[in-house]
Amino acid sequence: MPTFGEIFDGNIDYVASYQNYEWGVLDFPFFFNARDTLSTDSSMNALSSLFAQDYKYSNPNRLETFIDNHDRARFLARSGDNYQRLRSALALLLTARGVPVIYYGTEQADNGNMNGNEIPIANKDNRKDLSSFSQTSTIYNWIQRLTAMKANYPALRTGTQREMWTDNNVYAFSRRVDSTGAEAMTVISNSWDNQTRTIPIRAESSLPVGTTLTNLLNTSQTVVIQSGGVTGKQITVSLGEHEAKVFVPGSPFSTFTPASRNLTTINVHYNVGWGNSISIRGNSDPLSWFGGRPARNIASDVWQFQVERIPNGQYFEFKPLINDSSWSQGGNFSGYGGQTIDIYPNF
């Protein structure tokens, strides 16, 4: 009979020893791997190594997969509150093999203790009461779309998972019901930069050359299976920053256009010197005066911090720090949610 059990260990062999006689257990190896890969700039080859060991399980489709919960740091706390990283992690969770588990709060972009540090299991930050529950927020709608996709495409529920592509920045796999030929393909980027890959279609696929595939996560986007490659069939896929695409043949069950990102961008123009970094503190979640959010070095003297959480038009104040310890001189900088703010501080 179906079970839900916790084997709190990231070792695949250890978890498999239980899953081979229990219907389902929490897939902690998936959790640690997917979280650590997609919340940071880590190689996507780690996902390849994870799924390559699925043969050790009696049925990997019965594993209960997750990306965060009430006992571990929330995904957004680990990823610097990057919603786009969360979207790609959720796309993996809802389209890869296994039974996806979404803990309350993830759909409301809960960021737990905000700083990403692991805290004791008996904590209040990762299991706090929700102050509100929006059914129109960007992450809620993203999960709603992914669950509808899973409900409408048997391949995303029970299909055999087979790798199509792996490298440092891009991972792709197919889910196929071999008895019917129903198939879906997921392609995910873990890069800040645009990525394009020509990916071979699996030899097991019965989809012919000339088939049009539609991206279910943005139904205005299509690709066509072309001849060529090691299997004689291939697709060329372009991905934006930390983007996920899920392709299916034929007309999609419904149209979908992802919501535009409400980005607040802070560009700090300052050369901090080799080995140093910039972080941002402020007074509007996810910013805090008690700990900095890391900015990303995008040019020799430019550090960028982007966030979607600050509401459009909301006034906030902030300051940059070097190595999250040396404050910029003078008063606070300020801006409004949804703006691009360029500052030229002195330290």
Helices (H) and strands (E) in the chain, counts: 7, 20
According to the 3-state scheme, what is the secondary structure of 297-347?
EEECCEEEEEECCCCCCCEEEEEEEECCCEECCCCCEEEECCCEEEECCCC
Residue 25 gets which letter from DSSP?
A: B
Neighbours of 280 (CB within 10 A): 24
Task: Give the CATH fold of the 264-343 domain.
Answer: Immunoglobulin-like (2.60.40)
Give me the amino acid identity at 286. Answer: P
- Please tell me the predicted confidence (pLDDT) of residue 118: 54
> In the chain, which stretches have pLDDT less than 50?
none
Query: Are the C-beta atoms of 147 and 133 separated by less than 8 Å?
Result: no
Query: Would you state the pLDDT for residue 120?
Result: 54
Helix (H, G, I), strand (E, B) or coil at 226: strand
- Strand, coil or helix: 94: helix
The answer to whether 47 and 170 have CB atoms below 8 angstroms apart is no
Q: How many CB atoms lie within 10 A of CB 195?
A: 19
Q: Tell me which amino acid residue 248 is.
A: V
- pLDDT on residue 4: 79
Q: Which of 204, 165, 191, 181 is nearest to 51 (CA)?
A: 165
- Hey, how many other C-beta atoms are within 10 angstroms of the C-beta on 267? 17
Residue 246, CA distances (Å) to 34, 117, 183, 187, 218 in order: 17, 32, 11, 6, 9
Q: Which fold has domain 157-249?
A: Immunoglobulin-like (2.60.40)
**Are the beta carbons of 52 and 175 closer than 8 angstroms?**
no
According to the model, what pLDDT value does residue 19 have?
81
Closest CA to 112 of 98, 99, 125, 94: 125
pLDDT the model gives residue 161: 99
Query: Cα–Cα distance between 208 and 110 in angstroms, integer?
Result: 43
pLDDT attached to residue 124: 66
**pLDDT of res. 117:** 57
From the candidate CATH numbers 1.20.1630.10, 3.20.20.80, 2.30.110.10, 3.30.470.20, the one assigned to the domain spanning 12-153: 3.20.20.80
> Can you give the pLDDT at residue 72?
83
Query: In 3D, which of 30, 24, 33 has the Cα closest to residue 5?
Result: 24
Nearest to 33 by CA among 187, 190, 156: 190
pLDDT at 7: 86
- Give the integer Cα–Cα distance in Å for 98 and 63: 5
Question: What 3 state SS string does 141-202 have?
Answer: HHHHHHHHHHHHCCHHHHCEEEEEEECCCEEEEEEEECCCCEEEEEEEECCCCCEEEEEECC
**Domain ranges in the chain with CATH number 2.60.40.1180:** 157-249
Q: How far apart are CA 242 and CA 304, in angstroms?
A: 16
- Residues contacting 7, CB < 8 A, separation 6+: 14, 15, 18, 19, 25, 26, 28
Please tell me the predicted confidence (pLDDT) of residue 159. 98
Run of H or E including 258:
none
Which residues does 140 contact at the CB level (< 8 Å), separation at least 6? 107, 108, 134
Q: According to the model, what pLDDT value does residue 287 have? A: 95
